Amino acid sequence: MKHYNVAILGATGAVGRTMLKVLEERDFPIEELKLLASERSAGTEIEFRGNKYVVEAVTPESFEGIDIALFSAGSSRSKIWAPIAAEKGAVVIDNSSAFRMEPDVPLVVPEVNPDDVHLHKGIIANPNCSTIQMVVALYPIHKKKKIKRIIVSTYQAVSGAGAKAIEDLEKETRSKFEGKHYYPEVLPASIAFNVIPRIDVFMENGYTKEELKMLNETRKIMHAPDIKVSATCVRVPVFVGHSESVTIETEEPITPEEAREILKDSPGVIIEDDPENNVYPMPIDVEGKDDVFVGRIRKDLAFENGLSMWVVADNLRKGAATNAVQIAEVLIKYALV
């Protein structure tokens, strides 16, 4: 089997470290590994497959001889370094929002649109974490019954805002119990024992940028430009695992039984749907797993052809790191690298 030279930019962050874990678990064929970050994080030691690697400060020369570059360093850094890495011959799989809506950059979820990788010109975008788990659950239904409308409310873990946000929740929770005051450094409001109905900045139409990502990215990934999506994205005091309440309206009638039958054999989906015995997906149970878990599938009472469900996934893995590694595996499968 051929092996590949792999670089990770943002290797010291929550998603970067999870990428390393996923690469090791999936026995990804690596010849040489290069860990990259900002100058501030350079010198950090990280273990991979029993060996110690020293994180290097990223430079243009960092990408010489690299086949696949996994990026999780934020939009501003991606805009600088992704074109440089691609010019050096690497295929960049970028976890930020920098290139997702660029018309010549594929936006890929391997369970939904793997063939789109053929369209890449050196950069492939990894979608938003909430979008990924939703389309994995909905696309199999869309293929059978064509979805017209999606209404989704998300309950997103603090890890979606990075390692510092995880610290915010931990420190603020401890402070509450100790009768002290701690104001989060990263999140826009108190998060311990609270929910924040805002993720990313507000736009002119009253929706946040995160909510509009779910609209635009869903249309692009599913090749469904007319699908209507209304999202409300909420930050909750959970460390890992995004949950979503999803209601869809289909062109043809669909029953909960039909939906379960469609989803039971769909790639990347696990059904946990036995409410009478308290069986439904919860973030505490999906941490460390790569599948998208679906439960509470029921007839919606507002739409004629409506269906409601509850969708949960580990946002650091399927919502970010695992999806990126799966894209890399698709590149290998199609001999595109």
Question: How far is residue 310 CA from its own chain's centroid?
Answer: 17
129 carries an active-site annotation: yes
SS3 sequence, the chain? Answer: CCCEEEEEECCCCHHHHHHHHHHHHCCCCEEEEEEEECCCCCCCEEEECCEEEECEECCHHHHCCCCEEEECCCHHHHHHHHHHHHHCCCEEEECCCCCCCCCCCCECCCCCCHHHHHHCCCEEECCCHHHHHHHHHHHHHHHHHCEEEEEEEEEECHHHHCHHHHHHHHHHHHHHHCCCCCCCCCCCCCCCCCCECCCCCECCCCCEHHHHHHHHHHHHHCCCCCCEEEEEEEECCCCCCEEEEEEEEECCCCCHHHHHHHHHCCCCEEECCEHHHCECCCHHHHCCCCCEEEEEEEECCCCCCEEEEEEEECCCHHHHHHHHHHHHHHHHHCCCC
Tell me the C-alpha distance between 46 and 321, whole Å.
17
Please report, for residues 75, 214, 236, 300, the alpha-carbon distance to residue 94 in angstroms, rounded to integers and kept in the order given: 9, 17, 26, 36
Catalytic residue of the set 120, 142, 233, 242: 242
Catalytic residue of the set 3, 118, 129, 233: 129
223 carries an active-site annotation: no
- Give backbone dihedrals phi and psi of 201, rounded to 5 degrees, phi first: -85, 155
Catalytic positions are 129, 242
